[in-house]
Structures are given as structure tokens and as C-alpha cells.
């Protein structure tokens, strides 16, 4: 959403809402999705794979948003919203609160194949939209938008950690054997999809109080992942947890020490 490097510009829809992309950009989509199809089984969580099946994403071309909307509307009542590469936090929260998922309609360049700080259409569609067909994940996104809209700037910084360690970089499972990925930041990164379950990172049991106090960097591969017991727990967090109370407690207690790898300036 907000990054330091703004090198991408979204392609705009015509009057019918159709977006035209150059052939080379469809080729990048094809390469990304083909790559992911090979690594997702056994790594992505079941709910994501079911959503992916429902979406029937094209493999040879970048999908049109209207085709994604048909599936989202029929499953959870969500839809996408075409946005420029960067939008304000206020607009971002407003869209989520209204069950609209912002999608910047540009695709990464080949040099950013494994990860880009500015989320592209592959990240939003292939990374997040499959789980937006799942009620718990969809509700959690909506609650996050509603809370973010009302939050102060400082509260939003803490809320962002909850988003980061769930929707973007969340894992799910109750043991090392059944640990799977649901975070769209991982599932849209060919390299991180392999790395995330490889045993090298640190796996912590999901706990909102800890998540809110854990520093992260958007320009590093993640050294720590929080593992939720079940996707349905997102529904409980959204509906039964006083998230803002947790935010205030985290603000009082302050952040944990950053993981050593986040302090090292060399990649
Ligand atoms: Fe994302």
C-alpha cells in the first residue's frame, strides 16, 4: 500500500471496466501462477486451495476484476476495487469496511519476481482473493477496515501488525506436520512460499497480544511467523476479541526487541 519506491502505475479500465495489458505482462502472470501451482499443494491451507479452485484463475492471462467479483459476491459478498498503485490508509480501511478489496492493476517486473513492496495484481488476486471466498477471512478483513477507519494514526501502526502477521504473513496449523500458509504475502511470493515452511524461520503460536508488539520490516524475508490454530479463529478474533483494547495494552507495554535479522542492514 505505502512503500518507499513508487515505480509502478496501475493500468486503467475502459468504459466497460475492461483492462488491457501488454503481452509481456500476461507472460509474467503466467509464469507466476504456473510457478505457484507447482508449490502450493501441501503448503497452502485447504481453505485457500478451495478458494483458488472456486476462482478458476486463468493461467495464460491476467484476470479481469469482473470475473473475480462474480465469485466473491456469490461466496462472501465481497468484491474488488480497482485502485491506483498507492492509496491512503483512510481509503484502504474504508474499502475493507465496505467489503471491497483494493486491487492495484499493475503487475510486477521480472526483477521483482519474488517479492515487491508495492502489492501488484498477482499479490492481491492470487495471494488474497482465494481466501476472501472464506467467511472467517472475509469477516476479519471487514472488521480490520472498520477498526482502522476509527483508529488514530498511532493505533493504526499497531493494527497494521495484526494485519501483517495474519492476512499477509499468517500460517495456520496445530503441529509442524499440518502447518500451512494462509498469508497472501507469502502465497504470492514464489521464494517465500518455499521458505515459510522450510524450518528456518521461527514459528510462534498466534497470540494477539504478542503479535501487536512484534516489529517487522516490509523489505525483508520474515524471520518470525505466527501460527493460528484454525482459519475459523479469524472469525473469533474479529467478533469476540476487543482488538482495540489489545492495541491499547500493546501501546502501553511497547514493542518487543526486533529480531536480529531485522537490524542487519545487509540483505
Ligand atoms: Fe496484501
pLDDT tens digit at each of 267 positions of the chain: 444 456 899 999 999 999 999 999 999 999 999 999 999 999 999 999 999 999 999 999 999 999 999 999 999 999 999 998 889 999 999 999 999 999 999 999 998 988 888 899 999 999 999 999 999 999 999 999 999 999 999 999 999 999 999 999 999 999 999 999 999 999 999 999 999 999 999 999 999 999 999 999 998 889 999 999 999 999 999 999 999 999 999 999 999 999 998 887 755
Domain count, the chain: 1
Residue 36 lies in a domain: yes
CA distances from 38 to 173, 198, 248 (A): 21, 16, 42
- Estimate to the nearest angstrom the gap between the alpha carbon of 193 and the chain centroid: 13
Residue 9 lies in a domain: no
Ligand 1 centroid to Cα of residue 177, in Å, is 26
CATH number at residue 255: 1.10.800.10
Q: Which domain holds residue 67?
A: 23-262
Residue 211 lies in a domain: yes
User: What DSSP letter does each residue of 166-196 carry, written as one string?
Assistant: IIIT-EE-SSSTT-EE--HHHHT-HHHHHHH
The one-character DSSP state at 77 is S
The one-character DSSP state at 43 is T
Ligand 1 centroid to Cα of residue 183, in Å, is 8
Residue 61 lies in a domain: yes
Residue 82 lies in a domain: yes
What lies within 8 Å, CB to CB, of 79 at 6+ separation is: 69, 72, 73, 99, 100, 101
Model pLDDT, residue 221: 86
Residue 13 lies in a domain: no
Residue 94 lies in a domain: yes
Q: pTM of the predicted model, to two decimals?
A: 0.95
Ligand 1 centroid to Cα of residue 114, in Å, is 14
Ligand 1 centroid to Cα of residue 118, in Å, is 9
Instruction: Answer yes or no: are the C-beta atoms of 250 and 213 closer than 8 Å.
Output: yes
| Residues of each annotated binding site for Fe cation | 123, 128, 168
Residue 18 lies in a domain: no
Amino acid at each position: 500500500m505505502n512503500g518507499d519506491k513508487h515505480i509502478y502505475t496501475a493500468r486503467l479500465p475502459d468504459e466497460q471496466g475492461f483492462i488491457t495489458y501488454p503481452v509481456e505482462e500476461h507472460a509474467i502472470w503466467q509464469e507466476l501462477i504456473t510457478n505457484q501451482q507447482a508449490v502450493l499443494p501441501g503448503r497452502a491451507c485447504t481453505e485457500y486451495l478451495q478458494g483458488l479452485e472456486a476462482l478458476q484463475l486463468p493461467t495464460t492471462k491476467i484476470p479481469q476484476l469482473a470475473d473475480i467479483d462474480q465469485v466473491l459476491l456469490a461466496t462472501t459478498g465481497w468484491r474488488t476495487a480497482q485502485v491506483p498503485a498507492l492509496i491512503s490508509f483512510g481509503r484502504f480501511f474504508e474499502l475493507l469496511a465496505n467489503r471491497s478489496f483494493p486491487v492495484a492493476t499493475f503487475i510486477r517486473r521480472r526483477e521483482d519476481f519474488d517479492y515487491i513492496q508495492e502489492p501488484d495484481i498477482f499479490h492481491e488476486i492470487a495471494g488474497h482473493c482465494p481466501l476472501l471466498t472464506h467467511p472467517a477471512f472475509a469477516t476479519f478483513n471487514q472488521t480490520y477496515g472498520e477498526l482502522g477507519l476509527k483508529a488514530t494514526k498511532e493505533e493504526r501502526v499497531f493494527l497494521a501488525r495484526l494485519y501483517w502477521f495474519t492476512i499477509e504473513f499468517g500460517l495456520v496449523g496445530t503441529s509442524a506436520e499440518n502447518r500451512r500458509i494462509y498469508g497472501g504475502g507469502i502465497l504470492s511470493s514464489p521464494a517465500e512460499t518455499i521458505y515459510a515452511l522450510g524450518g528456518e524461520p521461527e514459528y510462534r503460536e498466534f497470540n494477539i497480544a504478542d503479535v501487536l508488539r512484534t516489529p517487522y520490516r516490509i523489505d525483508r524475508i520474515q524471520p518470525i511467523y505466527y501460527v493460528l490454530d484454525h482459519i475459523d479463529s479469524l472469525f473469533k478474533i474479529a467478533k469476540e476479541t476487543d482488538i482495540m483494547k489489545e492495541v491499547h495494552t500493546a501501546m502501553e507495554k511497547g514493542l518487543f526487541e526486533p529480531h536480529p535479522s531485522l537490524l542487519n542492514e545487509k540483505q
